[in-house]
Amino acid sequence: MGGSLATECSAKSETEKLHNCEDHDDPVRLTDTTVKKVTLEQHLSALDNRPPDAGDANVPCASTSTNHTFRTDNSDTKALDSSEDAKRQLLLIEEEVRSFAVKYRKVSSHRSDLSAETRVFFEEKIGSISDELRRLTRQVSVSTTSTESVMQTAYLGMRKRRFKSLRDVVRKVTTEIRIARILESWTEMTTPRRPGSASMETEMETSLISKNDMDVWDGVDVLDLDQKSHEPLFQIFMTIWQSQKMSLLVKARMQKVQEYVRAVEAGYHRANPYHNNAHAAEVTLMTYQIWSYLSAGSFKGYFEQVDLLVVLLAAAIHDIGHPATNNDFLVKTKTELALRYHDTAVLENFHLATAFELMRSRSVSMLDHNLPSPPVTSLRRRIVEIVLATDMAVHKKQVDEMVRLVERNVNRQEIDKRTLEQYIVHTADVGHPFRPVPQHHEWARRVNEEFLAQGDREKELGFTPIEMFDRDKAPPLPKNQLGFLQFVIQPLWKPMEALLDSKARPASLFLHRNIKVWQEELEPEA
């Protein structure tokens, strides 16, 4: 989180500098007697043509008696030598891009009313400015070392320092992030939406649900979404991605992100009764909801956007390629997977390998981001730990550890983040009892069907399945589920309920209702 802190401090510093430099008596004006409007293209051109070392200059703020202008004539190009002027220009460019994007979206939504000449004009100008931004991004990247190397140099003195102070490091990093953000905003917000294009299709498809729907605990029925869209994971994942503006954090282009998410969804076996793409969507949704509720409560300021990236990806990939049998089946039948992973967390290791191999084959790194820290290797390690923690073999250990942490830490923000994010995804993985009764009953029916199908296969291979997996000996579904809810889910939920506080009420209410309904169904049979 040190990188984010640096960025925040830098932003605050820039705001103070602008405030101190501002001339409150005179309006901003050009030195020329003729008032000229400085366009976005002129801003970009001026910034792009500044001397390479301008960003390193530590020029003090001009006094308030000086007119603060952005000059466009050749005699005034020396003004761009000031890093402060460059930063103020970046801020103005960013604001202008946002303003233009709003207007352009309104215009482009009525493309049929535009003449062919006007459409060509828009496309040519937008393409030209996009090229300028990309060229500028490359220049900044070349003129600076990697952010990781910069931080190592500043903090650890690992080699000869290229910067005079940490303040200079922060300035460099902040400038690079800001330019990247402008480029991403410009690209995403101004790309013309042609009928039938991938971007337009995504916008229409994700409109099936909204952030407001997902913010309500029972606002989205994933089973219903699956029936309507046939790609519930894509719907859930991309709605979260867009509503949380993850594209400003992650370097991967939106098209590549969409391709990867669709490839992940295709990696789930839809024919599986339970461990399919709908289950992945449900776990991703509940992970997001728990994460959001915690962030709005006693964990406000505890999580960062990069933490959401970690749990979101982990939830989406956590069961990819699941064969509808458990680890015990794979081990005792001596499958290739069991041999490859030494009979330890076989499926969990397989899911991780499949997901990361998919990233490699698709040439997309979902973890490359625009922040100075944490490094990608750290994020990848966290995802590995989260998915490994979905193994039910470590369920009791996780519950005991979280109970201990909750009891010991009155200040919730002292709880270890890695432990908490593992617990969030694990809770979501088995969390269907926290949904409304009809949804929970359907999930329970599906998982029971998958268990019995595995039992049938075990018998065919000459093995004796456990009673719960034996179609001829298994207890009634209400009895099975009552045992699961009372002895597995309730202990799991207790520490999470304490962390969520009042936000836990809807889930707790549904859990109690589901227990009551199973009890009522069991009584007539008894």
Tens-place pLDDT, residues 368-396:
999 999 999 999 999 999 999 999 999 99
Rounded to whole angstroms, the Cα distance separating 368 from 491 reads 37
Rounded to whole angstroms, the Cα distance separating 156 from 150 reads 10
What residues are paired with 250 via a beta bridge? 369
Rounded to whole angstroms, the Cα distance separating 392 from 426 reads 9
Q: Which is nearest to 145 in space by CA: 135, 126, 158?
A: 158
Using alpha carbons, list the distances in angstroms from residue 157 to 1, 57, 163, 166, 172: 20, 21, 11, 12, 17
Q: Residue 369, SS3?
A: strand
- How would you write 9-56 as a 3-class SS string? HHHHHHHHHHHHHCCCCCCCCCCCCCCCCCCHHHHHHHHHCCCCCHHH
Q: Which is nearest to 8 in space by CA: 222, 207, 200, 173?
A: 173
Using alpha carbons, list the distances in angstroms from residue 186 to 45, 91, 103, 122, 127: 16, 14, 13, 13, 10
Size of the chain in residues: 526
Please give the pLDDT value at position 115: 77
Contacts of residue 297, defined as CB under 8 A and 6 or more positions apart, other chains included, come to 499, 500, 501, 502, 503
Please give the pLDDT value at position 319: 98
The amino acid present at 208, given as its one-letter code, is: L
Contact 283, 428 (CB under 8 A): yes
What residues are paired with 369 via a beta bridge? 250
Please give the pLDDT value at position 72: 42
pLDDT one-digit tens code per residue, 126-160: 877 876 776 666 555 444 444 444 444 333 333 34
Please give the pLDDT value at position 9: 42
Rounded to whole angstroms, the Cα distance separating 40 from 146 reads 28
Question: 194-221 b/e with 16+ CB inside 10 Å = b?
Answer: eeeeeeeebeebbeebeeeebeebeebb
Rounded to whole angstroms, the Cα distance separating 95 from 18 reads 15
**H or E element in which residue 498 lies:** helix 490-500
Angle at the Cα of 138 (from 170 to 376), degrees rounded to 5? Answer: 60
Rounded to whole angstroms, the Cα distance separating 23 from 8 reads 25
Question: 340-369 b/e with 16+ CB inside 10 Å = b?
Answer: ebeeebbbbbbbbbbbbebbeeeebbbbeb
Crossing angle between the packed helical segments 232-243 and 222-229, to the nearest 10 degrees: 110
The residue ranges of the chain whose pLDDT is under 50 are 1-38, 40-41, 43-77, 79-80, 141-163, 190, 192-206
Q: Residue 250, SS3?
A: strand
Give the phi and the psi of residue 82 in degrees, each rounded to 5: -85, 125
Query: Cis ω on the peptide bond leading into residue 478 (within 30° of 0)?
Result: no
Contact 148, 375 (CB under 8 A): yes
Please give the pLDDT value at position 455: 98
Rounded to whole angstroms, the Cα distance separating 345 from 331 reads 10
